[in-house]
Amino acid sequence: MGVSKKGLSANHWSPSAIELLKRRVASLLARRLDVHEIVQMLSTPTMPGEQDIFGQQTMVPNPSYFINPRTGRPYGKSTIYRIKDEIYADWRRKDSEKIDQMFAEVIGSLEEIVRRAFGMGDYELALGALDRIINIIGANKPVRVDLTFLREIDWESMPSEELERIAGGDVSGLLPG
């Protein structure tokens, strides 16, 4: 639950207060609020509600209201930015784990299809499932080779025997003059 150097250290906070703040900020981030709006929501104890029967605007408790229990003051933008970064890192890690699990399940299913297809003699189905596995793991992607170093070679001053050795054949038709 990494906490920042400023403000959110274990010396001043209970783990439950930190988690409650993180949950509130995560909820507001999920509603697509920016940091300025989150600071505003956390520091406002009431918010406009529905109109009463007389047409007057009522004020209701703000469920997102949460101030610093140590100072009694609202959190600043820098604290919310740090929490936001930590939440996004947690979300990315969890998403990555879910995607890895999904790929593992799909590949496991395809491997079972391959096993059964080979057992039944349906080689076309087996090869199709193997092809899908290869696509999922990315083994069919072309290999990128950086050849920018070739621009730096002085090809015109190189002896034709050396060019033929590099090219693997006769280069006389490719040479000027």
Query: How far, in Å, CA of 54 to CA of 88, rounded?
Result: 44
Domain ranges of the chain: 15-93, 95-137
Mean predicted lDDT score pLDDT of the chain = 84
Strand partners, 61: 46
Which stretches within 64-159 are classed as H helix?
A: 77-120, 123-137
At position 127, the amino acid (one-letter code) is L
How does pLDDT run across 79-137, given as a tens digit for each residue?
999 999 999 999 999 988 998 899 999 999 999 999 999 999 999 999 999 999 998 88
Query: How far, in Å, CA of 31 to CA of 61, rounded?
Result: 18
CA-to-CA separations, 164 to 83, 136, 170, 175, in angstroms, rounded: 62, 40, 6, 11
Say if pTM beats, i.e. exceeds, 0.85.
no
How does pLDDT run across 119-129, given as a tens digit for each residue?
999 999 999 99
**CB-CB contact of 87 with 22 (8 Å):** yes
Counting beta carbons within 10 angstroms of the beta carbon of residue 132, is it exposed (0 to 12), middle (13 to 18) or buried (19 or more)?
Answer: middle
